[in-house]
A and B are shown apart, each in its own frame.
Chain A
Amino acid sequence: MASGGLAQTLRNRYEAETERIRLDFAAAHDGRLAIQRRSALLDSLALRLWQEYVSPEQTAPADLALVAIGGYGRGSLYPHSDIDLLFLYEKALPGPERKDEIRQLCQDMWDMRLKLSPTTRSLEECDLLHRDNLEFNISLLDCRFLAGNFELFRRLHEQVLPKFILREWQDLVRGLSEVNEERRRKMGNTIFHLEPNVKDTPGGLRDYHLAGWLALLNGFSRSRGWINPTDTFPANLRSSTEEAIAFLSAIRCFLHYRSGRDDNLLSWEAQDAAAQGCIAFADAPDAAVWMRRYFRHARNINRLASVMLDDVVPARSSIYQQFQSWRSRLSNRDFAVVNGRVYLQQPSSIDQDAFLRVFEFVAQHGFKLAGSTEQRLEQAFPAVSSRPLTGGTRWAALRAVLVRPHAGLALRSMQELGVLAMIIPEFRALDSLVIRDFYHRYTVDEHTFLAIDTLHGLRKDSEETQHFAELLGEVERLDLLYLAMLLHDVGKAGSSESHVQASLQAAAHICAELELSQEECDSICFLIASHLEMSVAMRRDIFDPATLKNLALVVGSPERLKMLCLLTYADISAVNPDAMTTWKAENLWRLYVATVNELDRSVDDERVHDDMRDEQLANILRLAPQLEARRLREFLQGLPRRYLRLHGPQEIVTHLELAAKLGTDAVQTALTRRRNMFEITVVTVDQPALFAKLAGILAAWGMNIVKADAFSNAGGVVVDTFFFTDRFHTLELNVQEWGRFQRSFVDVLAGECSLEALGSGRKSDSRTPKLRIEPRVQVDEVSALHSTLIEIIAQDRPGLLYRIASIFAENGCNIEVALIDTEGEMAIDVFYLTAARNKLPVELIGKLRDALMEELQPPA
């Protein structure tokens, strides 16, 4: 030990300077200055002790050098970090006397409560790859001379290490990459933690060091010598990196001073204290605002590390290279895929169209943008964004991304580059927005992207998500579902207490800006307005009839219920990794099933009467000002409310206009071609076996009915809509047949043509079903007040609906409401039946059941 006087002097000097550094940090919060000053303090201390114990000459003795390595070598010593010292010798181990000198030096430092990590190594040992201690090899990358034989250090720095790096480059890079992957895996591969570790969590200081090491190693492979790592960081990331490091350094110093130890956990309380203490802020912000800045910086550091890994880490094996080569065949005229990253084929000229399509490419194939591509897009952004995009173009570009399997990856990239805010300006306010509670782990934008990932990730082969994956496959307008998911929390940036209302208002405005139709906008607004309804219902008794009735009233139709259920599943799943438990998923699914059944059970009873809201009428009348409100009320009177949910205002106007012409022609039809099928609506006055005849006409033409709904109003006017596929391409290929097709409805219903005559000469269908579906007939005599509900599940086949409806007609049943659906090869049909305006008598039910079961048996 140093003589008592010197030891005490050194300790006093050290403690005084340490306290000065702490006070200066407390005043200015300059973390980088604090860690540089601390490094300088330790340098002078180590040198003084070297002079005391080893040699009075700073540059002696000849056989030993004192070297700072690791963080100390970088000149970045945090208040309670380890101090890594290397005692470097040439060949022969230090003798007992030298060892004693080293021990005494170290002892004095330990006595000052410094966390010293000394190591003694020869030049030769520094030239070895320590596979089980790669940290030592990496720490040498930051070596810095302190005292002793400078020539020895110079040989280490200029000869041994360069030779070692060039020889072991692949293993070093691979090893760094593996250690990094392990660290990230332990941290959940996300920057989003409620209480992040500012050193080890992705986006923290370790990622910055990693980027520096990779830059250094990359520099060696190119220039064969030492470079300044930050000089080779991508130019577009340098400024944001500087800011991020200044911020993170300040936080880490703050945490060390606060706890008095090497504690890097930004705990809940520490976040509050940092915000109140104005760390990196001019005045004390809310802790949520403070954390928002943290996440922005963490995201930038995370991005830097990712780009450096992409640029430096080589392919691992020939199999990997073959896989990458295969994937690169996805390159096209505009974009190339190399080593799993997207490059622009013509970076010098990128127009607005290509600028937007690159994200569609990412969303389709799941490859990230290369660093150079991001740079080029950032350079092109001002020119691209200066040319205004029409709403339709913006929606087309966004839609192309949203519906593709890797939409989340593309959206994150768009958010980082400002492209998402270009398409939806409201999204700018969500950038790293923090909702600070113990439940919401992610920022609002990340939560939204994760929710979209969740939907795309639903798998039918997973027991937990199977039901929801099947539901997703049934949704007709997936693009609207994903858009609603994207916008559902957009109102959280406002100061309003209810984010639902704020999101709704913003969404209505956005839909108008994107030039969506009124119907599309209504769907989006419904989903956003109701996006908490199922979560709320799950906190009640999910089998309570009142809960189900209320939810059924809110959703109004099975299609909306499906979308809402999926939105709810994704929303909860994306709150935190543990939010969606198997228990909750099961409850949500049960609530969905119970509500679907409630919807089907309540159709006949929930009818439009004089209580119809003027707002609903106004929506419809706005589209057709020539209509009188009185005529509209008359038409709607007595129709099931389900009719209003299934048919938008424009369709209702069309139906009313058709109904108005019934005085001239007793059967009115409207035929429309949809994307994958046709739709025909028949408006006429009810007659016996009407539904059967209509289904029969379609069967006679060889059409396959996929969906249908049949409603009647209080005046006996029937509105039946059929969605069908044109199996023999009759209408698809012969536009002139459309007129004949529509006339056949008039002729058959007027009795001027029989179904048999219509269908004669039609080919029969001999296809073999892929799946055998056992028929089921479920009768519910209780749910509907005025009718008997029959649900039929059966193997779908051409003419099935005609046969079922004929059985009802033959037995004197009137179809009050019909809801027809098909799922794959399964026909799912719900009928509300009456006989002589009453519920069906028991004997008739038995007779119907027998007749139906006989008819529905699948072919052997």
Chain B
Amino acid sequence: MTKLEAMIQPSKLDAVKSALLEIGIDGLTVLEARGHGRQKGHTEFYRGREYTVDLLPKIKLEIVLRDEVVEQAVGAVIKAAQTGKIGDGKIFLTRVDEAIRIRNEERGSNAL
């Protein structure tokens, strides 16, 4: 099993959700986040005060997947979230040792 974590632009959330749903992935966690990579942000002035916008709003998705659908999911996220500009985000994949469904204590990929 593999955990897919994706940092995407908030404006792409609906498109990414739809894309994942289309390939049969309907369980995911969405977190509101802020961050930057090479996209550094900028400064706005308002009423004499300086607002440094260095941490930009992002959405973090977390999904645990069966190994056989990981590449498909990665492709779906990229296709839906990509604009070609700096700030599109990143995807991280990590191994998951075990998954357990709390309701009936099912384990392994059946619990996904």
Interface residues of A (CB under 8 A from B): 538-543, 581, 583-584, 586-587, 590, 593-594, 596-597, 773-774, 776, 778, 791, 793, 823, 826, 828
CA distance A542 to B9 in the complex (A): 10
| B105 smallest CB distance to A (angstroms) | 21
Report yes or no: A596 in contact with B53, Cβ–Cβ below 8 A: no
Report yes or no: B48 in contact with A597, Cβ–Cβ below 8 A: no
Report yes or no: A791 in contact with B45, Cβ–Cβ below 8 A: yes
CA distance A849 to B57 in the complex (A): 35
Q: Pick the contact of A823 from B9, B11, B47, B51 — CB < 8 Å?
A: B47
CA distance A584 to B53 in the complex (A): 14
- Specify which chain B residues have a CB less than 8 angstroms from the CB of A583 in the assembled complex: 32-34, 57
5 contacts between A and B (CB under 8 A): A541-B11, A593-B51, A597-B44, A774-B48, A828-B48
CA distance A590 to B53 in the complex (A): 8
Annotate B11-42 by CB proximity to A: 1 below 8 A, 0 otherwise.
10110000000000000000011100000001
- Among B9, B14, B48, the one with the most A-chain Cβ atoms within 10 Å of its Cβ is B48
Closest-by-CB residue of B relative to A791 is: B45
| B12 smallest CB distance to A (angstroms) | 9
Question: If A539-B11, A539-B14, A541-B9 touch, does A587 touch B46 (CB 8 Å cutoff)?
Answer: no
- Among A583, A594, A774, A791, the one with the most B-chain Cβ atoms within 10 Å of its Cβ is A583
- Specify which chain A residues have a CB less than 8 angstroms from the CB of B51 in the assembled complex: 590, 593
- Specify which chain B residues have a CB less than 8 angstroms from the CB of A596 in the assembled complex: 46
CA distance A793 to B9 in the complex (A): 34
- Specify which chain A residues have a CB less than 8 angstroms from the CB of B14 in the assembled complex: 539
- Specify which chain A residues have a CB less than 8 angstroms from the CB of B53 in the assembled complex: 543, 590
Closest-by-CB residue of A relative to B34 is: A583
- Specify which chain B residues have a CB less than 8 angstroms from the CB of A828 in the assembled complex: 47-48
- 9 shortest interchain CB distances as A-B pairs: A793-B48, A583-B32, A593-B46, A540-B11, A593-B44, A587-B57, A541-B11, A776-B48, A539-B11
With contacts A597-B46, A828-B47 known, what are 8 further pairs, Cβ within 8 A? A538-B10, A583-B57, A587-B57, A593-B51, A776-B45, A776-B48, A791-B45, A826-B48
Report yes or no: B34 in contact with A590, Cβ–Cβ below 8 A: no
- Specify which chain A residues have a CB less than 8 angstroms from the CB of B9 in the assembled complex: 541
| A592 smallest CB distance to B (angstroms) | 8
CA distance A538 to B32 in the complex (A): 13
| A324 smallest CB distance to B (angstroms) | 42
- Specify which chain B residues have a CB less than 8 angstroms from the CB of A587 in the assembled complex: 10, 57
Report yes or no: A539 in contact with B44, Cβ–Cβ below 8 A: no
| B19 smallest CB distance to A (angstroms) | 16
Question: If A581-B32, A584-B32 touch, does A539 touch B48 (CB 8 Å cutoff)?
Answer: no
Annotate B79-98 by CB proximity to A: 1 below 8 A, 0 otherwise.
00000000000000000000
CA distance A268 to B12 in the complex (A): 29
Question: If A583-B32, A583-B57, A587-B57 touch, does A543 touch B42 (CB 8 Å cutoff)?
Answer: yes
Annotate B44-74 by CB proximity to A: 1 below 8 A, 0 otherwise.
1111100101001100000000000000000
Report yes or no: B48 in contact with A773, Cβ–Cβ below 8 A: yes
Question: If A581-B32, A583-B57 touch, does A539 touch B45 (CB 8 Å cutoff)?
Answer: no
| A255 smallest CB distance to B (angstroms) | 20
Report yes or no: B44 in contact with A594, Cβ–Cβ below 8 A: yes
| B40 smallest CB distance to A (angstroms) | 12
CA distance A812 to B53 in the complex (A): 36
Report yes or no: B57 in contact with A826, Cβ–Cβ below 8 A: no
Report yes or no: B47 in contact with A826, Cβ–Cβ below 8 A: yes
Report yes or no: B45 in contact with A778, Cβ–Cβ below 8 A: yes
CA distance A583 to B56 in the complex (A): 10
Report yes or no: B57 in contact with A542, Cβ–Cβ below 8 A: yes
Closest-by-CB residue of A relative to B55 is: A586
| A664 smallest CB distance to B (angstroms) | 43
